[in-house]
């Protein structure tokens, strides 16, 4: 288990660094302590079912996190049923080009080396029986192990959670979904509409998607950071 000391909205948090988990996740208790529940977009709420069940309360598109003296914007999925306060996933590791250096026993990025916590300082009670969270292209990702199940490989007991509400489980023999419609600007119309529904103009939404390679979450974080 690799943990680092962080601060979210000036509140100390021990973050579990997991390069296998694609999503960065925060518990609702931690979000309350950090005072960022008011920033949560509840349109991302739903139920996550997999190895266990948990309720996804929503998503915080932009909040400040401090690691090793560096302050940076970060996005979180707020989910119940986890013993870990903050799981720092691959989305944020890639965004800031971080490197897990086991020789130095540190998380390295932007010229900084943030040491991993010794075993005595690691929070106890970490739950290995975590549910999955939705990943890109309809995949499902284990919130702890980071195991990725490709689209179409989900069992009948699992559901993918979208931006609006929980979706019913689909039979294994169900027909594949039709591909999303692509806007004239080269991005799926639903991605552009999702950003527009957050209160941004269509042109700003397209520019943000272009700047982030089409990643909706990163685009939302970029737009909120510009406000």
Which residues are identified as catalytic? 18
> Do the strands 11-17 and 2-8 form a parallel or antiparallel pair, or are they unpaired?
antiparallel
Beta 140-142 vs 148-149: how paired, if at all?
antiparallel
Specify burial of residue 213 (Cβ count, 10 A radius: 0-12, 13-18, 19+): exposed
- 3-class SS string, 111-133: CEEEECCCHHHCCCCCCCCCCEE
Read off the tokens for 206: 């397209």
Quickly count: other Cβ atoms within 10 Å of residue 68's Cβ: 17
Rg of the chain taking only CA atoms, in angstroms:
18
List, as one string, the DSSP characters of 165-214. SB-PPPPTTPPPPPPPPBPTTSSBHHHHHHHHTTT--HHHHHHHHHHTTT
């Amino acid at each position: 288990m690799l943990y680092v000391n962080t601060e979210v909205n000036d509140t100390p948090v021990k973050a579990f660094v997991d390069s296998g988990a694609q999503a960065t996740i925060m518990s609702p208790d931690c979000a309350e302590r950090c005072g960022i529940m008011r920033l949560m977009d509840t349109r991302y709420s739903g139920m996550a079912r997999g190895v266990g069940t948990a309720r996804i309360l929503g998503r915080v598109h932009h909040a400040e996190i401090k690691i090793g003296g560096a302050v940076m914007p970060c996005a979180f999925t707020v989910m119940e049923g986890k013993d870990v306060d903050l799981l720092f996933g691959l989305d944020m590791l890639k965004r800031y080009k971080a490197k897990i250096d086991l020789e130095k026993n540190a998380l390295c990025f932007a010229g900084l080396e943030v040491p991993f916590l010794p075993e005595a300082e690691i929070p106890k009670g970490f739950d290995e029986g975590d549910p999955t969270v939705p990943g890109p292209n309809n995949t499902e990702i284990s919130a702890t192990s980071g195991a990725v199940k490709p689209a179409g490989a989900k069992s009948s007991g699992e559901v993918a959670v979208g931006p609006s509400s929980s979706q019913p489980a689909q039979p294994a023999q169900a027909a594949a979904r039709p591909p999303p419609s692509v806007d004239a600007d080269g991005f799926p119309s639903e991605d552009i509409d999702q950003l527009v529904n957050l209160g941004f103009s269509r042109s700003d939404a397209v520019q943000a998607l272009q700047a982030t390679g089409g990643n909706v979450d990163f685009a939302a974080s970029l737009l909120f950071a510009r406000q």
